[in-house]
Amino acid sequence: MDNAEQFLSVACVVLLDGFFGVIAGFKREGFKTFKAIKVLRTLVLWWVILGVLLSIEKSFAGTSWLSETVIVPFLVFQVISALKNASLSGYIKTDLLTKILKKIDQHKETKK
């Protein structure tokens, strides 16, 4: 497998976000099995998308840019989401990070 590192990077980022997301969700509303399983569903979905993109790249000349164009923005937003979840779960206590991420990922705000 020539592109194992791409599958590994997707797995690392999704699992990092999922780890902190489950912790943040547990602190906010208790453990929800469906939300924990959603991490695995997200991982499989992005692996399938990456696999399709890589097969297109291998099949057609001049499409070597395709997987990077689709996967890199996904990875960036997943890392931002992981930072937000780490902040919500109490692992990152930087006020500036919380302020910046609050403007980016507003659907994860706590409900009071």
Over the stretch 18-77, which tens digit does the pLDDT of each residue have? 999 888 888 888 877 887 889 999 999 999 999 999 999 999 988 888 888 999 999 988
Q: What is the pTM of this model?
A: 0.77
* Residue 102 CA neighbour count, 13 Å, CB half: 9
Q: What's the rounded Cα separation, in Å, for the pair 72 and 17?
A: 15
Q: Is residue 11 a contact partner of residue 72, using CB atoms and an 8 Å limit?
A: no
Q: What is the model's pLDDT at position 29?
A: 81
Asked if pLDDT for residue 109 goes beyond 70, the answer is no
Look at residue 10 and tell me whether its pLDDT is greater than 90: yes
Question: Do 14 and 46 touch, CB atoms closer than 8 A?
Answer: yes
